[in-house]
Structure 1
């Protein structure tokens, strides 16, 4: 797996409110730039998505692939792994981690993506960074609206 890219943002909301938005995968196209469609394929015992298929158009990376989700029981985060390769994406691992108390929560998004096609490292990192920045800024706008 490639090196991970990560970034953080502070959102004026409590962790539960932010996690509820993160867990609502079908709403991602409304706020997460680059995500065009999300289909939840399976839910876990807690009602949160366990598997989903995403279609993305994120700069140099355009694809449809499947992810498996693991939700932290304490509500501090979620991790996902690629379980259905796409035509371009061959490996993917990511997470949201939430920290803080009260009405200010720091959200950290970490992502590592490998692709099947030869891609200059700089271009791939730029794609990862674009996905992360767009998701964090979109999440902040969506939650704070």
Structure 2
């Protein structure tokens, strides 16, 4: 059962600063309680992360996931799950819009798991990921 959701937040930084923070994937454990580690396996020609390997823990399960990133600067970044022992699908995207002195951030996320989980647990995992992806990102960006 795939679940999807979205979240919005305003960040007091430019879209370029927000994208730079998202690109700092090695810092994911700083801003995400579920990420134990994250490393860039390959980069695009401009230096932005292409393939990322991360160790995560959610819903009492540990996982190593590999995702590919696509950058459409300065307006968006998206990622797609390549491999995972726990997830069968993960698609996410940030859309950034300048607003006043900062940036409006919209996050879309869709996940599915290989192991049957009750829907309420999967939705709780999704909500946690959306909160981390917006509130955690805001705290990280504004503290840099």
Task: Measure how far apart 1:142 and its partner are.
Answer: 1.3
Extract unaligned runs of 5+ from structure 2: none
Residue of structure 2 aligned with 1:119, choices 100, 117, 120: 117
Match of 2:81 in 1: 82
The superposition leaves residues 86-125 of structure 1 with CA deviations (integer Å, 9 ceiling, x where unpaired) of: 2211111111111124522111111111111111122111
TM-score calculated relative to the size of structure 1: 0.91
Aligned residues: 143
3-state SS of paired residue (1:117): coil
| Aligned-pair Cα RMSD in Å | 1.6
Counting strand residues as a fraction of each chain, which structure ranks higher? 2
User: Corresponding residue for 1:20?
Assistant: 20
Cα deviation code 1:57-80 (max 9, x no counterpart): 1335531111011101x3111111
Match of 2:36 in 1: 36
For the residue of structure 2 that corresponds to 1:140, the secondary structure is helix
Q: Which runs of 4 or more aligned residues in structure 1 lie more than 4 Å from their structure 2 counterparts after TM superposition?
A: none
Q: Is the 8 A contact 1:14 1:102 kept in 2?
A: no
Cα distance change, pair 39–104 in 1 and its aligned pair in 2 (3 A): same
Please list every run of 5 or more consecutive structure 1 residues that lacks an aligned counterpart in the other structure.
Answer: none
TM-score scaled to structure 2, two decimals?
0.91
